[in-house]
Structure formats: structure tokens, C-alpha cells
Structure 1
Amino acid sequence: MSQLLHPVSRRSLLAGAAATGALIMLHPFSARAQANQAHLRIMETTDIHVNVLPYDYYADKANDTMGLSRTASLIDAVRKEAVNSMLIDNGDLLQGNPMGDYIAYEKGMQDGDLHPIMKGMNLLGYECSTLGNHEFNYGLSFLDKVLAGANFPFVCANLIRGTQLAANPRDDKLYLKPYVILDKKIKDGSGAEQPIKIGIIGFVPPQIMVWDLKNLEGNVKTRDIVDAAKAWVPEIKEQGADIVIALSHSGIDVKQGDMMENASFFVAGVEGIDAVFTGHQHLVFPGKKDFQSLEAVDTEKGTLQGKPAVMGGFWGSHMGLIDLLLERDGSKWRVVSATSEARPIYERVDNKNKATVNDDKRIIAALEQDHEATLAYVRRPVGKTSAPLYSYFALVADDPSVQIVNQAQSWYLKDILKSTQWKDVPLLSAAAPFKAGGRSGADYYTDVPVGDIAIKNVADLYLYPNTVRAVEITGAQVKEWLEMSAGIFNRIEAGKADEPLINTDFPSYNFDVIDGVSYKIDLSQPPKYDAKGGLANAGSNRIVDLMFDGKPIDPAAKFVVATNNYRAGGGGNFPDINASKIIYEAPDTNRDVIVRYIISEGTINPSADDNWSFAPLAGTSVVFETGPKAKDFIAEVKSLKIEPAGEGEAGFAKYRIAL
């Protein structure tokens, strides 16, 4: 443990009140089970994404909201609340943080090697897992070597080896076993041990054939999740299973279709399935926040079509729990009652995240060398930048820290969309500056010099663990998107000197720059939208000279815009930008896409292309505040006449722009 983390992080890892170390109470099913009844608690982790330790390698610091080592402490306490329990996982284990990339790209997996995720899971006694879509990111050979180190089975009923689907799903040549039947002993209400057969079936999103086409084409195919479930569940029952559990690495959606990505709701409707463990969407179910408006989804009881279900967050943030009260009917068991819960590893106190469990020290010790190697990896250069990456002028000029995000998003989606119906639709990209001073202080800016760039520098470029989304909108909606962004600027009266430029109530993360078009912002016009997305001045048109491909944009033309899940889902209340416009939900974070882009390019050129600027206003100047280090980059900003204008407040520096 001595070398695992720097001193401050070590204290953080071991801190936090261990809520589970207090009074342990039996679940009512265990406490009240009769002689012919038994309580079975099934614990789920999902979407761990190699976050075995509570450490954010991008930011290079400890994080109390993540880590299987934290969830492991929760597991121990949860087991004590039930007479009978078992632990399963729902996939997305092998990719998602720099430790996963280090193993795949740097260290490699040789036959007989034990992946860090398997080191942790083997210690905890998992009994089964399924595959998530991210298991394929490093190729099938890598996956095979990792799975060989598991002390528990993996199942997947809709991943077919080869290129041919059989007429009957039961005749498919599957990559893994479609299901397992575990012969277990459980204690009934009288304390006597009784045999039970538990069937476990698994599913992966069929979209892996799009997301990982390069790794999978010609090697495997996928079948519709629900079709596979309907075919295999009857066989599981025929083989004597008392109960059937679905490990569905698939989210929750009530709009039915073929080859659904998020099919767990309809898996719950398959006859013979008793409980559904979901994941993939990185959300929490049951709970008060997610899935509230979906019909036949009970977010309080935790049921889908009346069947118990759970989604245990992501990165180890929650433990998913389904408790089944079983009753013996002759020689068979059946479910007579159920409860569902997603139990967190931290709580929010005074706007800060506070751990509610300690670490499992066995996992900390087992991963010490992997942790140290990963730290060295993220601190070592993975590419170079031929231009400085800074955000000191991100709110007043086209900016390299935003430019590189847009370049990476476009690079990523161009490859994915080329085999879809949107392959010929023009692709744009939208991104906003995150580190732009403001209330976070005069040092809160991106500043990466020319030369080597390390993975941890990506945290400077992209602060949040958002995931990539694509929306399809019209040229008219592109303009309104930009009108909303332009609300960050105050109205400027022509002919006046040193008017304040920035509306400080407008968050910088809502100042989107859209690459792929060019435009000017007329500051003499009032903002069309206020900071909350409300229509403030319907007749205003700040966005002028909006061009695509050298011509005025066609308001009726279709465009695909790369963005993140926050914006695509309606975050910021941008006009007409909401989930209904989403055409693609990527399985990857924007951070991860940037890292992949840097590795792919070797040397990146983030120089701003000046696709936007202010419309000229003769005899007019504005002032704004930024970090004092901005003086080193004034010459880099070609599109503006910027000069120092004295000291600002709280350590900021003031600058003037002649419009």
C-alpha cells in the first residue's frame, strides 16, 4: 500500500465513514422466510470500465465516486444482510480508463496473464458475468486472453462465431455459452439447506458490429437480444432451472424495434425470466432521477413489466441488488415476491462527494503494481502537439483547446457513420470551453505547451466524463444553436469604448463553437436567447454570414452534429436540441475519443482555424478578463486586435479588443 498512491490520495482512499460497518440488519425476506421459503439476494456490478480503484487517472487524483475496491466493501456488508447471496457482473469491464489502455496498448496480454479487472473480481467471488460492448474494443484475441483468467463463467446468447446466423437461434454457433445453470444450496426459513438450480443468460448490444466493425467484421455476428432470449430461455427451463436471471448489458427503452440497443424492458417481458440485471446506459434504476416517464417502468419498486430489475450505475458507483423471496412448490422453487435497490458507495454532502465505504484492502494490494504502472503511463507522452493548447481567449476567439475537441469528435464519428444512412450527410462538430476562468479563478485555464502531450493532459481539455452523441438537425437549427451560444456576450453599442463583453451569468460550457461552418457574431444585436435558453429577443439575429462549404447555409439542409450526451439530451436548453434529434449514442467518452485521436495522429495540430469572429463595429472597443498568463499568447490570436487594459479583479488580467 505504501507506494500505491501519493500521501494525500492515500488518505482520501482510506477515509470516509464506513456506513456498512454499523448495525447490520437482515433483509425482511431473510428474517421472515418460512420453512418452505428462502431468501436469495443477487448482487450486481455493471459498467466497471477498469475502474477497480477509486482513482481518476485523467485528473491524476483520487475520486470517491468510483472503484470496485469501494464497491467490494459494500458487497461484504450486503452479504451479511441476507442468508443466501450471489454476486454477478453485467459487462463493460475491459475498457474505459487509462489502466485498460495501458494493459491493451502498452503491457499487452500474454497467455496466462491475469488482467487487473480479473484480479479484483476473482478475489470477490463472482459467479457469472456477460459481455459488454466495450469488451471488443481491443480485439477478440485480447478478449479471449482476459476471459481465460476468470474464475467464473461468461455467458452471451446473441454473439455468433463466424458470419452466418442459423434459421433457429438454438442452432447458432455461439462465441460463448448462451447460459449456465448453477447448482447451488440455499438455506430455507428453517435453516435447512435445499438444492436450487439458477439459470443465468447474457446479452450484448447488437450494435457492436458498428462500434467495433474493424475488430469484428468477418469474425462474429450478432442476433437481436429479445429473439435470442425467446429462443434460449425455454431451453434453460427444460434443463431444470428453477429461476432464470438475465444479464442484459442493454439499457431501458420502451420503444420496441429490431436489433434494439436498449432492450432490457422487452427482455423482462420474455416468459420464464424472473429478474433482469441491466446496464450500459450508466444510469441508476430504481431511483428518483432516471426513467421516470416510461410506461410500465416502476422506478420506485424497480420493476420492468412487473419483473424485478436493477441498473447499478457505473464505475462501481452503486451495487445493484435484487432480493427474491422463493417458495418451494413440490420439488421446484418459484418467485413469490421481490425487491430491487441500487445502493451507492458515496453521498453528496455540502456540494461535495463523501465516501460511505472504505476500500477492500485485498484489492488495493493486488493492484498496487498495476496502479503504479498506469500512473507512469498517463504521465508519459502519448503524442505531440505542434501548437500550444490554451484557453485564455476561448470566450472571445476561435480557440485551440476547443478546436482539438471538435477535430477528435469529427474524426471519431466520420468513421462510424460511413456505413450508415447518414454517410453522405455533412458532419459538423460542437464543443465548448470548460476551463475558462470565471468563478474558478484566474488560474483555471488550459495551458499545454508545444511538444509532448500526456493522457492526463486530456483532463485539461475535457473536464467531464461525457459520452459522444450525434444529432441530425437542419441548417436553420444550426443557426439557432449558435444564436443560443452567442448569448454569452453582452449587447455592445457601436461607437462606445471599453464596454464589458462577457455576460458572467452565462456558463462557459454553454458557449458552443460549431466547426464545419463559418460565421460572424454581430454584437450590436441583443441576445436572442437568455442564459437559461428562454427566448429573449425573437427578432434578433446575432449570427451573420453563416456559411457552409463557402456558400450561405441552406436552412432546410440536413446536418449531423457531433456533440456530447449533455447537450444532445437537452442540457443548456438549446432551441430544438434534445433527445428526439439523437441519431447515434456512442459507447465512448469524449475524453477517450480525444486520447484515441492523439494516439492515431501522433502529432496533433490544434491551431484554431478562425471559423468564427465578431462582425466589425467601427470605433468600438470591448474589455474582458482572463488569466494573467494570457499575455504569452496574444500573438497567437490572429483574428482579433487584443491589447492589455490593466489589472482585473481577484488576480485576473483585463484586455481590450478593438472591434
Structure 2
Amino acid sequence: MTAINRRAFLAAGAATTVVAGLHPYSARAQAQQAHLRIMETTDLHVNVFPYDYYADRETPTVGLARTASLIDAIRSEATNSLLFDNGDFLQGNPLGDYIAFERGMKEGNVHPIVAAMNTLRYDAGTLGNHEFNYGLDFLQKVIGPANFPIVSANLVKGERAADPTADERFVPPFVVLDRRISTGDGSSHPIRIGVIGFLPPQIVVWDAQNLNGRATTRGIVDAARAMVPRVRAEGADIVVALCHSGIAAGDPNDSNLENAALQLATVDGIDVVLSGHQHLRFPGDDFQEIDGVDIGKGTLHGKPAVMAGFWGSDMGLVDLLLERADDRWRIVSATSELRPIYERVDRQPRALVQSQLDVLEAARVEHEATLAYVRRPVGETTAPLYSYFALIADDPSVQIVNQAQLRYMRTILAETPYATLPLLSAAAPFKSGGRSGPDYYTDIPAGPIAIRNVADLYLYPNTVQAVKITGAQVKDWLEMSAGIFQRIEPGRTGQSLIEETFPSYNFDVIDGVSYQIDVTRPARFDRDGKLIDPDASRIVDLRFDGKPIDLTQDFVVVTNNYRAGGGGKFPGIASDKIVFVAPDANRDVLIRYIIEEKRIDPAADGNWRLAKTAGTEVTFRTGPGSAAHLGDLTSLELIEAGRSEDGYAIYRLQL
């Protein structure tokens, strides 16, 4: 970027009246200058309608149909614009599951998310990690009808080649878009825009059952260093990286970085970074105090970047002032911002836009079919199932998943050499607020239970797997989970208990053992599973069959493919520990369990709790719906302490 030209531009603009509604770059661009607006959606997760299928009601906080209604106005503010999607569009709610498991993708079918996106004139897109949850064959049928190119530079078909530029791929690594761009004097000129895509290399672990022998990955920065020069060699004036990866500190030479958008910005030849995957917002306060990140300007190592939330919550914008010289374009100045689809008023979400009808119509038939699908009853529950307190006490929503997994795996292992080994089950609360807001909790009343309720209990289409590990590794598994808690100082009050950036899907509860968690002790592992304090032990009084666990004894633990394959970086848990790979999804196992039982009793057995610490009080945030269930928690001393500004109920908890 050229500061002299930027100052000259601003000085020229100072004497110019900005045309109402136009971005200053469009209003003040001179001859040989042009404004290019780049729009991003990311992590849509099949949210076309503004509808919560789990709660079976409309919601103002999600939906491409709402995001779409921003597009025309946003385009009208700029003389030139492009629209990109940054991945994770295919899986994430019951609409996606209905298409994958019920309707299928037959000849002539267009997936509803692709049909919706086709109405909006996307210029290009990339793949995220969740695109592979239903298998490669399904994915290829889905993206075939897309009327925009889909690119991914670090997804490799088969085995990696010695030279990254020679890798065989499922989709092109990049595309160079030939467009014409209007300048400040109204003339039109050609411009070539390179678009290159990246996804987390961990997909080969997370979806090993779908990718083994068929696909592998390269590191994001490794692939960029190899491929971006090729994009430039094809004449790209500007290169936009569609990076389905988050923003975090890390070594750019680490080929296994999951969140590598910041490191990608250091690669020569990349001009703009569109990020995602973390379900956060940039620019903004989600990424404070990270070297190289400017949360005010919206830059990563000085390059404009954006992360547009999730589920259609925001439209991400990067505005570029371009200048033309010698028939080539360069960036003079840039800004980044987000446009949300809702706001919170008195802690309640309120829509800022209405849905765009043609987007709704593109998916309406499948939406209606999904409603019938999720309302289908499969059994009943004798007690409510809720996740409001899943992070502070043994919880019925996790308990029922573990019960189903244990029954399933006992039958599976009965005729195997592992039948005599003690069997445990690990499951986590998926819906527990956090970045998804105070309404993001499971809350199923006693009575009939439908498929939508089961999908609410188990959000992801994981498949069942089992690992064989030692008692010591069981303990370390729990120590890693206990990283969700802040270290609490004994004898003090007002301390926040939960580390809000720790994902609840990595807070595994293991049934079949009993234990306490002492939050006054330091964590044993960091978030990457690295041992940081060999003497630390938050897990106390760990028992199996009523006796202190034998750390050398072998156990079989039933879990899901994500965890068994190393997802979450739990120490000692990796693919070499897997002893059984089931053909069934965890959710299907849960549905089958409810159908067979007809009437389930999800009462938690209290196999774990927080260790007591005299004179110590902490604060805990959860959904406001928790108030209806306070009477169920006789083992906890909870005192209501009001509401947070973002709508959470706050409790004081006596340890």
C-alpha cells in the first residue's frame, strides 16, 4: 500500500461532497482510481431460514435469507463489488441432516444451501471442515450445481505430490476472475482478481472415516507459499485468500496450524484475508492482544481481513481503494467492517433486517420437509433434559448420551477380545451458551421426545468409535477437560469459574468412573494438550468400581470419531488407540436407544462434581431458562445474581 497516494486521495476528497449512500472510496475516487468492495459470508452451516429447528421456532439471529437482504444495499454503496463464501455451508442443523440422511442427492437435485446461494450471485467460495461430514461423494454431488467456482489449495486428492503445485485435487486450488471495474471518472477497465482457498488440515483426523485413502491435506501456509506465486503468474492484480481458519498466535512454519489466518497474512502476494471457522467476529474485541492483529483497523499483519461471525449473523466487508498504473492495479487504502443482521435490546435479540423472499423460496420445500422430519416422535422422557448446568454438575443431557453409547458398545464388544475390559463412555455438552449466546442451551421438557430433540442433544453427525487406554490416560483425559475452569483462589468471592474461550464440546464427562474436580489447583495441560505442570492434578478421588483407579489397568472408552482421532488434542488419545470403528452415527445410536427403551429416565447419576473449598464463592453464567430447573440441583448452592448485558443469567456458586 502507498501512504502518499492515500493522503492525496483523502486530501482530494476533503473538497468533495460525498454522494449519499456511497462509500467514500466510491464517492471520491479519481480517474485511475476505483473502489472494490469484498463481501464475505462464512460458517453458514445450512442456515438458510431464520429458524431454530431444535426449538422449532423462528429466530432473528441466523439465516442466509436475512444476510441476503443486506446485499443489495451493500452493493449499492460501492461502484464495484464481489461476494464470497468462506466455507462450512453444508452441515450444522437438521436441514443438512435431512438432505444427507433422508432425501439424499439424486440426479437433478440441488442442495437447498446451494440453491439459496445461487440466487445471490456469489463470485466464488471455498470448503470448510464440515463439508466432509457426509462423505466426499455427497460433497461432490452438492457442489456440482453451484454456479460459482469453489476452490481449495491445501485439499489433496489421494497422496501428496513431492511438488505441491503438482498435487491432484477435488476442486481447483484457485481461480482468477476476469472482471471490469469502474473508476472515479466513470470509465471501465479490466481487472484480474485471484481467489485462493484454504481449510484446516485437521480434516483428515476429524473425518478420517470419509477421507482415509482418498484425500489428505497440506498446511495452510505451506500451500499458500507454493500456490500464491502461481496465482500472481496468471496475471492476478489482487489476491483474496478465502481462509476457513481462525485467528490465533502460532508459528507460521507449523504445518499443522488449525487457526492460521494470521500467519497466512504474512505470505507475499496475498492482499486480503477472509477468515472464519472460529465463529467469532473480526474486526472486534474477540481478538485482543494478539501480536500482528489490529482489532480497530481490521488488519492482520497490516493486511485487511474480516471474519463474519457464523450462521449468517453478519456480512463481512473489506473495502479497497485501488489505483491503476501501467495497466495494473494496486491497493492504496483499505477498511474492514461487519454488518450484523440483529442487535440486542434489553438483552433480547431483535432483527435489523427482514428475510429475502427469493432465498427463502429456494429452500422452502426442503425446509417444510425438515420440519416434518424433526417433529417425528421416537419416545418419551420421564424428566426434562437440559444443559444449563452441564459445566458445573453431572447433567441429564450428557448422561443420556453416555447411557446410549454404553449400551451400544457393550453389544458390539461382546464377541471381541475387548469384552472383558471395563467399558467407559465419554460425552460432552454441545449447547452451553458461550459465543453462541444465552439461548444456546438444550431444554427438552418431560414427555414426548422427537428427532429434533435428539438432534438438540447431539448436534454433530459424528460416528461411534472406541479407544483402548490405561487408567492414567483416563485421568489425563479428564485433566484436559478440566481446563475449562479458571484457577480459583481459595477463600475469595466473585471469581469467574468458566474459561469462556474453552469450547464446551471439549469438556468431556466420562461415565463409568467417579471423580471430583478441584478448581483451586492449576491446570495440568494447556489447550493444545501440552503438559505445562507435571505435578498438577485437578482430578481427585478418581475411582472405578468404588476403588481408586488402577493407573495401569486397560479400559475401553466409547466416544466419537472426532475425539478418538485426536480432535481437541487430548493427550494420549489418537488414532493408534482406536480398537473399534462403528458404522453408526452417535446420534443414530441415541435415537435407537430411545426407541428401544420407549421411555427413558435421564436422571444424572452424580458420578462427578466440583470439589468443595470452604469459604470460596465463584460466579457462573448460563441461560435465563435455567431458573425453571434450580430446584433440581439439591447438591449445589446457587444464588441468583441478576443478568449480564448480553442476556445471561448470573449465579453465585458456593464451592
After TM superposition, the structure 1 = structure 2 runs for residues 321-470 of structure 1, keeping only pairs within 5 Å, are: 321-381=317-377, 384=379, 388-390=382-384, 400-406=396-402, 428-429=426-427, 446-449=444-447, 453-456=450-453, 458-459=455-456, 461=457
CA spacing shift, 1:270–1:597, aligned 2, 3 Å: farther
Shift of 1:600: 6.9
Q: SS where residue 52 of structure 1 aligns?
A: coil
From 44, 49, 61, the counterpart of 1:48? 44
Is 1:312 the counterpart of 2:308? The answer is yes
Which residue of structure 2 lines up, in the alignment, with residue 66 of structure 1? 62
Q: Could you tell me how far apart the structure 2 residues matched to 1:271 and 1:75 are?
A: 31
Which residue of structure 1 lines up, in the alignment, with residue 265 of structure 2? 268
Q: SS where residue 201 of structure 1 aligns?
A: strand
Shift of 1:208: 1.0
Instruction: Check conservation: 1:234, 1:272, Cα contact below 8 A.
Output: yes
Q: Could you tell me how far apart the structure 2 residues matched to 1:194 and 1:546 are?
A: 70
Residues 566-586 of structure 1, C-alpha deviation per residue, up to 9 Å, x if partnerless? xxxxxxxxxxxxx9989999x
Which residue of structure 2 lines up, in the alignment, with residue 419 of structure 1? none
Which residue of structure 2 lines up, in the alignment, with residue 147 of structure 1? 143
Is 1:281 the counterpart of 2:278? The answer is yes
- Which residue type is aligned with residue 213 of structure 2? G
Is 1:228 the counterpart of 2:228? The answer is no
Shift of 1:516: 3.3
Instruction: Check conservation: 1:29, 1:39, Cα contact below 8 A.
Output: yes
Q: Could you tell me how far apart the structure 1 residues matched to 2:480 and 2:132 are?
A: 38
Which residue of structure 2 lines up, in the alignment, with residue 551 of structure 1? 547
- Which residue type is aligned with residue 445 of structure 2? D
Which residue of structure 2 lines up, in the alignment, with residue 185 of structure 1? 180
- Which residue type is aligned with residue 235 of structure 1? R
Shift of 1:238: 1.0
Q: Could you tell me how far apart the structure 1 residues matched to 2:358 and 2:607 are?
A: 54
Instruction: Check conservation: 1:347, 1:354, Cα contact below 8 A.
Output: yes
Which residue of structure 1 lines up, in the alignment, with residue 161 of structure 2? 166
From 178, 196, 203, the counterpart of 2:198? 203
Which residue of structure 1 lines up, in the alignment, with residue 97 of structure 2? 101
From 222, 246, 251, the counterpart of 2:246? 251
Q: Could you tell me how far apart the structure 1 residues matched to 2:240 and 2:326 are?
A: 21
The number of aligned residues is: 518
Shift of 1:130: 0.6
Which residue of structure 1 lines up, in the alignment, with residue 613 of structure 2? none
From 91, 108, 127, the counterpart of 1:112? 108
Q: Could you tell me how far apart the structure 2 residues matched to 1:119 and 1:483 are?
A: 39
Q: Could you tell me how far apart the structure 1 residues matched to 2:261 and 2:393 are?
A: 45
Instruction: Check conservation: 1:323, 1:340, Cα contact below 8 A.
Output: yes
Q: With structure 1 as the length reference, what TM-score do the two structures score?
A: 0.68
Is 1:598 the counterpart of 2:596? The answer is no
Instruction: Check conservation: 2:201, 2:219, Cα contact below 8 A.
Output: yes
CA spacing shift, 1:580–1:172, aligned 2, 3 Å: closer
Instruction: Check conservation: 1:392, 1:446, Cα contact below 8 A.
Output: yes
CA spacing shift, 1:214–1:82, aligned 2, 3 Å: same
From 53, 76, 91, the counterpart of 1:80? 76
Which residue of structure 1 lines up, in the alignment, with residue 463 of structure 2? none
Q: Could you tell me how far apart the structure 2 residues matched to 1:596 and 1:555 are?
A: 33
Instruction: Check conservation: 1:120, 1:366, Cα contact below 8 A.
Output: yes
Instruction: Check conservation: 1:405, 1:431, Cα contact below 8 A.
Output: no
Q: SS where residue 186 of structure 1 aligns?
A: strand
Residues 286-329 of structure 1, C-alpha deviation per residue, up to 9 Å, x if partnerless? 012x1112101111111111111110000000001111111112
Q: SS where residue 359 of structure 1 aligns?
A: coil
Shift of 1:169: 0.8
CA spacing shift, 1:517–1:180, aligned 2, 3 Å: same
Q: Could you tell me how far apart the structure 1 residues matched to 2:85 and 2:354 are?
A: 21
Identical-residue share of aligned pairs (%): 51
Shift of 1:475: 6.6
Is 1:240 the counterpart of 2:235? The answer is yes
Which residue of structure 2 lines up, in the alignment, with residue 537 of structure 1? none
CA spacing shift, 1:404–1:149, aligned 2, 3 Å: same
Shift of 1:597: 4.4
- Which residue type is aligned with residue 456 of structure 1? N
Q: Could you tell me how far apart the structure 1 residues matched to 2:61 and 2:386 are?
A: 30
Q: Could you tell me how far apart the structure 1 residues matched to 2:48 and 2:484 are?
A: 43
Q: Could you tell me how far apart the structure 2 residues matched to 1:521 and 1:357 are?
A: 47
Which residue of structure 2 lines up, in the alignment, with residue 416 of structure 1? none
Instruction: Check conservation: 2:475, 2:539, Cα contact below 8 A.
Output: no
Q: SS where residue 205 of structure 1 aligns?
A: coil
Q: SS where residue 205 of structure 2 aligns?
A: helix
Residues 9-35 of structure 1, C-alpha deviation per residue, up to 9 Å, x if partnerless? xxxxxxxxxxxxxx9621111111110
Segment drifting more, 130-139 vs 602-611: 602-611
Q: SS where residue 162 of structure 2 aligns?
A: coil
Structure 1: gaps spanning 5 or more residues: 1-22, 414-423, 465-471, 488-504, 530-541, 564-578, 586-592, 615-624, 632-636, 641-659
Shift of 1:518: 4.3
Which residue of structure 2 lines up, in the alignment, with residue 175 of structure 1? 170
Shift of 1:59: 0.7
Structure 2: gaps spanning 5 or more residues: 1-18, 410-421, 461-472, 489-495, 521-537, 560-567, 575-584, 610-625, 635-655
After TM superposition, the structure 1 = structure 2 runs for residues 9-24 of structure 1, keeping only pairs within 5 Å, are: none
Q: SS where residue 224 of structure 2 aligns?
A: helix
CA spacing shift, 1:77–1:554, aligned 2, 3 Å: farther
CA spacing shift, 1:75–1:484, aligned 2, 3 Å: closer
Q: SS where residue 278 of structure 2 aligns?
A: coil
Q: SS where residue 230 of structure 2 aligns?
A: helix
Q: Could you tell me how far apart the structure 2 residues matched to 1:42 and 1:483 are?
A: 37
CA spacing shift, 1:482–1:141, aligned 2, 3 Å: closer
Q: SS where residue 367 of structure 1 aligns?
A: helix
Shift of 1:549: 5.8
Instruction: Check conservation: 1:158, 1:225, Cα contact below 8 A.
Output: yes
Instruction: Check conservation: 2:454, 2:591, Cα contact below 8 A.
Output: no
CA spacing shift, 1:462–1:181, aligned 2, 3 Å: closer
Shift of 1:612: 3.3
Which residue of structure 2 lines up, in the alignment, with residue 218 of structure 1? 213
- Which residue type is aligned with residue 260 of structure 1? L
